[in-house]
Structure 1
């Protein structure tokens, strides 16, 4: 299961809440080349990317940049490569 499938599960499964998730992505130029996105900032989950609110802008982030997905209880997905 990849990051898109995990994010969709958090969005649609009644036992989970996407808004509570933290998504760590590869973000060149950020400290450690990492940035964390709050689930509540995800506007849409497209086929190849997610659309994220960043201030007044909408940014497309490809799923291959997702490194880790955390819920308050656990890490539910992590890049293994």
Structure 2
């Protein structure tokens, strides 16, 4: 399991580090706020997305990074947004 610093970091930085260190994006699960879904949340696989500057994409859908609630890599939570 890869170790890297996540405290106080933006989800985009964490996803970029996973990608650029050559870690397995398939092992990532990204839980996002998705209004209308059960409990207003869906989980995406890292292999389903492409990273951009202000948004990440799932197919043709652009999703802002601020919708990310949690990132797990290899089963370990590496990012969790504080509850509001």
* TM-score, scaled to structure 1: 0.85
Q: Secondary structure at the match of 2:66?
A: helix
Q: Any residues of structure 2 matched to 1:22-41 within 5 Å, and which?
A: 22-41=29-48
* Runs of 4+ that moved beyond 4 A: none
- How far apart are residue 47 of structure 1 and its match? 1.0
Q: Secondary structure at the match of 2:74?
A: coil
Q: Which runs of 5+ in 2 are unaligned?
A: 1-8
Q: Which runs of 5+ in 1 are unaligned?
A: none
Name the counterpart of 1:59: 61
- How far apart are residue 66 of structure 1 and its match? 0.3
Cα distance per residue 1:9-42 (max 9 Å; x no partner):
111113x222210000000000000000111101
The alignment status of 1:45 with 2:47, answered yes or no, reads no
> 1 or 2, which has the higher strand percentage?
1
* TM-score, scaled to structure 2: 0.82
The count of aligned residue pairs is 75
